[in-house]
Amino acid sequence: MGTCVFLIGLTSIAGSCRADQAADAGIYIEKNVAIPARDGVILRADVRRPKKEGRYPVLIFRTPYDKCEGDEDNEKTFAEAVKRGYAMVVCDVRGRYASDGEFVAYQDEGKDGYDTIEWAARQPWSDGNVGTFGLSYPCAVQWLAAVENPPHLKAMVPAMGPSSIGPQAIYFGGVFESGWANWCYINMTPDRRVRNNLPGPKTYDEARAEWKKLGGTDAIQGWIPTLEMPYLRDTEPYYYTWLEHGPYDPWWEWGNMRTKYGDVKAAVLDLSGWHDEPYGSEGAITNFAGLAKARAGEKDMRNKLILGPWVHGVYATGKDVAGDRKFGPAAKINYHQVVLDWMDRYVRGIDNGVKNWPNVQAYVMGSDVWKTGDTWPLPGSVDETMYLASAAEPGGKPGTMSRQEPKDSGSSSFVSDPARPVRDEVDTTWGAFDLRNMAKDPAVLTFESEPFAEDTTILGNLPAEIYASSDAPDFDLYLRILDVAPDGTAYNLEAAGHEVIRASLRDKTPEPKLLKAGGIVKLGFDNLITGNCFKKGHRLRIYIHASWFPAYSRNLQTGKSETSGSEMQKAAIKVHFGPDTPSKIVLPVFPPTPADGKLPAAKS
């Protein structure tokens, strides 16, 4: 592919590959510019830069979704960046669309990202200062490159991405996220078929139609054994590699950012939302905290965190709703301004006040305010422990939760049948929904607190411990947290990926530790997070159940992995409480204070 140069107007850009319009004040677009990777593979990018000759700071956006897709949100940031005086490099990752090589999701992004950054710094139109930004996969590529320590990377805004590819992105709590099958089939296979001249759907729309024709989500994501699901074999073989390597297999170390924060020299603004994909909110918090620890003592840590109420996507940051839950106007930010203000400060060196933003800014659902501070967890909270205190009837009467540790021991039981899993009927990955009817499911236990006597803000990590036993050698356990209004509305406070533990992988070991029949184990939930104001009269509710289909893989409950086995068995699961088995959740409660106000980063 050759390089083409176009001159178009700043206001005429509708997509990075549309270069057939002209206006008075123009910019240059160079299409399919070759970027050589260290192994000789040629990556390709479209480069936009101001018309005036000169050297400019560079911003890089790397994507597997086609640099020419013309996404409205991304295009707005690209156009604004050039208006501010940046050269904008929009690059297809290895093996996707215009770039050569073989696409293996995530695995080449570290070195390729490094090479792209250093290439950009050497160009005659570059002043050598480089920044990166992007959300989701374009977030992950930034972190994978940053831990390689490219010398010319000055700043980055990784939004809604992971801290570790394996155990907290592909898997959660030891459980495989089956939704990756949909991501691969709809988003990845069409381009692969075009490149390799393979039969089958070659556009997103064709892939969606074929997905349904093949049986849809239940059939494909529910395929058992999972390694025998045939529909990605010829196009996305890495999907099966993921299944072959369990969540705590050392093989995943290539995608682990958590041990490498000391290698990151760029200024980092992490951004996510309470209703983001579960890897996003955990990733933003973990990455911020890890980098803060690595930079302790620095006068300007160049490391900040923004947590809104949002679902996954740039568009969501400008909305005041997540799923069915409506928030106030303070929930919305100007993503494009936030990104570019960060770049102006740390790529261009402009003293624009960004340095003085609070290190942590977190939105409180239910009260429409932002709480701020210098550290995570935010200072000022008081831990309050809520214990499971009385028995729940499966699908019936709730058990109670109490601030007093129960004096008497007890338990509640339910039967889990992987052939009839608890279903996510509304796709809670995409926000808050009224889940009151889950309490009627005979495979669900419900526990509730007393109504809050006053508005109560809970913000941060909510560590929980559940003591459980079963007649089966393995099971999964979900602990879902909800805000229940007096009228019965029960909103989930986050996505389910934070709320699940596979019992056999409770110690995060490469090999499972199966249970003995009737033996009690402690399951520690360390990724529960939220920022929510429980209004006066509301209750905290938790649901305990053993499956969440079709988003997450089903545990066969036989002791054999669903990757190779297909036989299922029912499991009687017992949740214990009392002095010797204190099942509990710890709430980071903030005392009533005046509203913290509007997000400083969103002010225009």
Q: How does pLDDT run across 317-344, given as a tens digit for each residue?
A: 999 999 999 999 999 999 999 999 999 9
* pLDDT value, residue 21: 32
Q: For the segment 341-387, what is each residue's pLDDT rounded down to a tens digit?
A: 999 999 999 999 999 999 999 999 999 999 999 999 999 999 999 99
pLDDT band at 602; cut points 50, 70, 90: low
Query: Do 133 and 343 touch, CB atoms closer than 8 A?
Result: yes
pLDDT band at 9; cut points 50, 70, 90: very low
* pLDDT value, residue 13: 32
pLDDT band at 538; cut points 50, 70, 90: very high
Strand partners, 140: none
Q: Element (H or E) spanning 145, and its range?
A: helix 137-146
CA dihedral 457, 460, 461, 462 (to 10 degrees): 0
Segment among 9-13, 93-97, 489-493 with least mean pLDDT: 9-13
User: Which spans in 325-442 are helix H?
Assistant: 335-346
Q: What are the boundaries of each domain within the chain?
A: 382-590
Q: For the segment 394-446, what is each residue's pLDDT rounded down to a tens digit?
A: 999 999 999 999 999 999 999 999 999 999 999 999 999 999 999 999 999 99
* Residue 11 pLDDT exceeds 50: no
Compute the average pLDDT of residues 513-541: 98
Compute the average pLDDT of residues 244-261: 98
SS3 content of the chain, % helix, strand, coil (to 5): 25, 30, 45
- Predicted TM-score (pTM) of the model is 0.95
Q: How many CA atoms lie within 13 A of 488 on its CB side?
A: 5
pLDDT band at 6; cut points 50, 70, 90: very low
Strand partners, 372: 361
| The pair of three-digit structure tokens given for residue 345, joined into one six-digit string | 């400060």
pLDDT band at 5; cut points 50, 70, 90: very low
* pLDDT value, residue 396: 97
* Residue 3 pLDDT exceeds 60: no
* pLDDT value, residue 414: 98
Q: For the segment 182-202, what is each residue's pLDDT rounded down to a tens digit?
A: 999 999 999 999 999 999 999
Helix axes 189-196, 204-213, angle to 10 degrees: 110
Q: For the segment 206-237, what is each residue's pLDDT rounded down to a tens digit?
A: 999 999 999 999 999 999 999 999 999 999 99
Nearest-angstrom CA–CA distance, 546 and 264: 39
| 3-class DSSP state of 472 | coil
Write down the architecture of domain 382-590 according to CATH: Sandwich (2.60)
* pLDDT value, residue 122: 98
pLDDT band at 26; cut points 50, 70, 90: confident
* pLDDT value, residue 19: 39
* Residue 594 pLDDT exceeds 90: no
pLDDT band at 592; cut points 50, 70, 90: confident
**With 0-12 CB in 10 A as exposed, 13-18 as middle and 19+ as buried, what is 565?**
middle
Q: For the segment 43-76, what is each residue's pLDDT rounded down to a tens digit?
A: 999 999 999 999 999 999 999 999 999 999 999 9
Q: What is the mean pLDDT of the chain?
A: 94
Rounded percentage of the chain residues whose pLDDT exceeds 90: 93
Q: For the segment 269-310, what is each residue's pLDDT rounded down to a tens digit?
A: 999 999 999 999 999 999 999 999 999 999 999 999 999 999
